[in-house]
Structure 1
């Protein structure tokens, strides 16, 4: 029988690509991870090709990874079949993109305070990582912006989230030249979001590449900070804008055209949601598609 800790270290290394990152994820030393891989290779033969910046799995390594995934699925299914699945205790796991996460996480903490026997495990991640985490049974629930076509995943509409053009409070902008004079605050998805929204709101405009960039920030909770200080405008999903604490310093520019994204709630299709998950979703008052700003 293969040592479960060694197998977990191997699967993490396969996912992360480096010993350094794997040790951080596992909260182990690099030496410990290396030792686990050495034990496995002594037992099973070469599993990795070690490149300077990454590792590559050998055919034996790919077979071992398939074995690990099968074991994870078997363990999760057994837990579902044998557990009492109490609604008021245990861990709820949810993974989502950052914007909706800024909105949901405080609400989930409110729910946890009412149910102290439950623990919230939340991770912010892009769509590809969300889908992989749900398929690998590392998270029970996920939210994605593109509906998966995998038969292993059940998906339902969770929310609709418009993109918003956010200005400093008190600034008046009526045309493209006004935006150009104000300047753009960029972020990792900034140009892509701005391209989609500005193309509809300002037909014929040259797009965000023609705007002066007055700053860049990769932390979603801080993107609106330079906007609030009057340094420029940006384009963000509504939930990210609503989570910004200093609403009195920003404003949403009214636009005649909108771009709205759908958010899909996903989970494994092979078994039902836990009672905890069902209770949380009920408490959130689904669907969120009708969510609007409070008056």
Structure 2
């Protein structure tokens, strides 16, 4: 590869038409600039510059000057891209579980409205897909309910998310038989979540499998609609319940020993998040912490 200092001296001579003025522009001695031109000629085995006045580039010199200009343009382009990478304008890819995603979505839209040029791509996905999407670099930030072990991922503890038993408003749940009478509204993680939570509420219970299934949905945004209609109960993360519009139609069973998951924000460990990703991540943290605080007042 050609030494960049040699090419910069050639560019300066072409701009100024003088070894002396080129040296002044570059902050070098005239001898250093002359040496750079000799080194170019030695390297390419051809005269680069005719010393007759005015100075004139040879055909080889013209080719080298064009090459130097291309390198300068490429460097300028790289600088612009690096600056843009640290701008608050541009794309941010976010992939989250449905529960936290429902609560975050409206607030992230508000952030976009207040931050012109920011574009947030938000996808809902289960945990394994969240992790893979970040590893594939198709999304910069993901949220998980477990801390990943993959060394390629950096994880930040961002919030806590309790599980909740949600049932129709006006219904009374005092014992296991009340759950059997009401029935269970299942979802992809429903039985696993219910098993964890019900073991705290009802120690020694005969198991979720003994409860009649009254419905199923793989859309967390729709899951509480049958509960609100009185068709059954379910177990969901708190953020999914908080995002449901008809809060007056549902109730939450209070538990003395809650089951709480930690939410982790993940991103690639090899490089830091850029400014706009960090802005989105801090907005997520604030939104989730505000939601958590509202439950303790």
TM-score (structure 1 length as normaliser): 0.69
Q: 2:80, 2:165 → 1: CA distance?
A: 44
Q: Distance in 1 between matches of 2:129 and 2:79?
A: 24
Counterpart of 2:65?
Answer: none
Give 3-state SS (helix, strand or coil) of 1:255's partner. Answer: coil
Structure 2 SS opposite 1:232: coil
- In the TM superposition, what is the alpha-carbon distance from 1:87 to its structure 2 partner? 3.4
Q: Does 1:184 align with 2:184?
A: yes
Identify if the C-alpha distance between structure 1 residues 192 and 84 changes in structure 2 by more than 3 Å, giving closer, same or farther: same
1:247 Cα offset (Å)? 0.5
Residue correspondence of structure 1 range 79-98 to structure 2 within 5 A = 82-98=82-98
CA contact (8 A) 2:184 2:215 kept: yes
Equivalent-residue separation in structure 2 for 1:207 and 1:167 (angstroms): 18
For the residues of structure 1 that align with 2:270 and 2:280, how far apart are their CA atoms? 20
What SS class does the counterpart of residue 262 from structure 2 fall into?
Answer: strand
Map of 2:7 onto structure 1:
none
Structure 1 equivalent of residue 239 of structure 2:
239
The verdict on how the C-alpha distance between 1:287 and 1:115 changes in structure 2, with shifts beyond 3 A counting, is closer
Q: How many residues align?
A: 218
Gaps of 5+ in 1: 1-77
Kept after mapping to 1: 8 A contact 2:152/2:269: yes
- 1:197 maps onto 2:194 in alignment: no
**Is the contact made by 2:107 and 2:287 (CA closer than 8 Å) also made in structure 1?**
no
- Map of 2:61 onto structure 1: none
Q: 1:258 aligned to 2:255?
A: no
Q: In 2, are the aligned partners of 1:158 and 1:287 still within 8 Å (CA)?
A: no
Aligned to 1:293: 294
Alignment-derived partner of residue 49 in structure 1? none
**Change over 3 Å in CA distance of 1:285–1:216 after alignment to 2:** closer
1:275 maps to which residue? 275
Q: Following TM superposition, by how much is the alpha carbon of 1:251 offset from its aligned partner in structure 2, in angstroms?
A: 0.7
CA contact (8 A) 1:191 1:208 kept: yes
2:17 alignment partner in structure 1: none
Q: Is the 8 A contact 2:94 2:139 kept in 1?
A: yes
Post-superposition offset of 1:82: 3.0
Aligned position for 2:172: 172
Residues 161 and 289 in structure 1, CA contact (< 8 A), matched pair in contact too: no
Per-residue CA deviation, residues 162-196 of structure 1 (Å, 9 max, x unaligned), is 11000111111111111111111111111111111
Match status 1:133 vs 2:101? no
Aligned-residue CA RMSD (Å): 2.0
How far 1:289 sits from its partner (Å)? 5.3
Decide whether the 8 Å contact of 2:104 with 2:287 is kept in 1. no
After superposition, the C-alpha distances for 1:215-239 in whole angstroms (9 at most, x for unaligned) are: 1111110110011011111110000
Q: TM-score, normalised by structure 2?
A: 0.69
Aligned to 1:110: 110
